[in-house]
Amino acid sequence: MKKKKEVNKVVRLALYIDQYDKDGKQVDYKEINQLLWELQKQTREIKNKTIQYCWEYYNFRSDYYKKFNSYPKEKDILNYSLAGFIMDKLKTGNDLYSQNCTTTVRGACKEFEDSREKFLKGESSIITYKPNQPIDIHNERIDLKKIDKDFYLSLNMVNTKSDYYKKYKDTKVRFKVNVKDDSTQTILERCIDQIYKIGESKLIYNRKKKLWFLNMVYKFEPQVIDNLDPDKILGVDLGVALPICASVYGDLNRFTINGGEIEEFRRRVEARKKSLLKQGRYCGDGRIGHGIKTRNKSVYAIEDKIARFRDTANHKYSRALIDYAVKNGCGTIQMEELSGITSDANRFLKNWTYYDLQTKIKNKAEEKGINVVFIKPRYTSKRCSKCGYINADNRKYQAHFLCLKCGFKENADYNASQNLSIRDIDKIIENEINQSAKSKQTE
Ligand SMILES: [Zn+2]
């Protein structure tokens, strides 16, 4: 497995302020604008002061050299590195979240460092930062979430000494991301899926558009895997009895995810819903007003719990599946195309797990250079993978497959995954159906 150097990229995200106080009341965007403009101002002051300190230190340093014919060590003079010393001087008296402030100081130190020879020789004038400086956001202070179809960013902006914190008991400001195109959506999804790592980013105000933008840095290591054979297809069945069953054609070995964990979680959630229904809080019982807040809280809490469980489980499952594909040298994964919506409300698992799971499998596969082929979902569970005989009665029971023609007997999800490991299986099945219709006509 070859590893290339990490790639750094930037995506520009248009943001809408979407901040709520602890009682769930929306904070006026004008108030947030004022706060962020103030933080931009403070960022500029910190950068200018940093340059000032650097300049003073280097003047001291060259005087020292003239006297002693050697350079002093930063730690002997300052007790810290230069950046550490400046950080210590500037850490109080501003509202910036401390890690962001550190990022700002380090950034300005580096800019000084990069051109200090020119300053000291007088070849260029010393840096002065103009107003409207972007606010640095440390990568650990960026929290990206997807709720329904929308993306939200929560950014730690202020420290606990700020007036904003004193008023709202919150160091964060939340924004809704305006996603304009599919490629931005894919980048954000991959950041959430941890395929991409978010790096140190910058928040900046655009006066013309009257909008805040985050220039968000994302990083990844492109991987090239040599031993993947595009003709070796891993058939992946997202089934009923098992959440995932995958196999290569003719191989008795299989990859399976046992649904126990999901079942157990489902039972707990259903039980909780039932108890809420009894209390009349879940669906409401006509008592509007007092009840509605409690009801929303409980419902949101459950939905949040489901989303978090699903996300964690699906990451784990998709990662394990892709590892299996790589280990077996499968350059292609074939799955049934699932839509995001299903009308069959009874299929709890299909509803909330499989579409998300499929998306995660696809994203992770593509990162490894594995092709993902989607085929039309048709008869793959009713066709015998050994002889091709299609009959609904082949699968009388959910978990078992028994071919009425050749007697092939296997786990039903495994049989489906075997069908899915055949190239162009949807076209083959269509042919087989047409053939058998023709032969019935002639009979
Ligand atoms: Zn058969």
For position 240, what pLDDT does the model report? Answer: 65
Q: Under DSSP, is residue 254 helix (H, G, I), strand (E, B) or coil?
A: coil
Written as six digits, the tokens of 272 are 């909780």
Name the pLDDT band for 1 (thresholds 50, 70, 90): very low
Q: CA distances (Å), 362 to each of 180, 236, 369, 372, in order?
A: 22, 11, 11, 6
The per-residue pLDDT for range 336-392, each reduced to its tens digit, is 987 654 444 444 444 556 788 888 899 889 888 899 999 987 888 899 999 999 988
The closest of 330, 386, 384, 389 to 361, measured between CA atoms, is 330
Distance from residue 389's CA to the centre of ligand 1 (Å): 5
Mean pLDDT confidence for 209-227: 88
Final residue of a structural domain among 223, 247, 281: 223
Mean pLDDT confidence for 257-281: 77
Q: Are residues 217 and 339 in the same domain?
A: no
Cα–Cα distance measured from residue 109 to residue 84, given in angstroms and rounded to the nearest whole number: 10
Residue for token pair 């997202």: 238
pTM of the predicted protein model: 0.59
- Which residues are within 5 Å of ligand 1 (an ion), measured at CB? 384, 386-387, 389, 403, 405-406, 408
Q: Are residues 389 and 243 in the same domain?
A: yes
Cα–Cα distance measured from residue 158 to residue 133, given in angstroms and rounded to the nearest whole number: 16
Name the pLDDT band for 25 (thresholds 50, 70, 90): very high
Distance from residue 425's CA to the centre of ligand 1 (Å): 16
For position 124, what pLDDT does the model report? Answer: 82
Annotated active-site positions, please?
237, 336, 413
Cα–Cα distance measured from residue 401 to residue 17, given in angstroms and rounded to the nearest whole number: 54
Q: State which residues form the domain around 178.
A: 6-26+137-223
Give the mean pLDDT of the chain: 87
Distance from residue 419's CA to the centre of ligand 1 (Å): 12
Q: Are residues 169 and 244 in the same domain?
A: no
Distance from residue 376's CA to the centre of ligand 1 (Å): 21
Q: Are the C-beta atoms of residues 178 and 15 closer than 8 Å to each other?
A: yes
209, pLDDT greater than 50: yes
Name the pLDDT band for 443 (thresholds 50, 70, 90): low
Q: Are residues 184 and 105 in the same domain?
A: no
For position 96, what pLDDT does the model report? Answer: 97
Q: Are residues 357 and 386 in the same domain?
A: yes
CATH number, residue 240:
3.30.420.140
Residue 127, in any domain of the structure: no
Name the pLDDT band for 38 (thresholds 50, 70, 90): very high
Written as six digits, the tokens of 118 are 């020119």
Residue 279, in any domain of the structure: no
Name the pLDDT band for 108 (thresholds 50, 70, 90): very high
The per-residue pLDDT for range 53-90, each reduced to its tens digit, is 999 999 999 999 999 999 999 888 888 899 999 999 99
Distance from residue 391's CA to the centre of ligand 1 (Å): 10
Distance from residue 382's CA to the centre of ligand 1 (Å): 10
Based on DSSP, count helices (H) and strands (E) in the chain, helices before strands.
12, 17
Distance from residue 388's CA to the centre of ligand 1 (Å): 6
Q: How many domains does the chain have?
A: 3
Q: Are residues 399 and 428 in the same domain?
A: yes
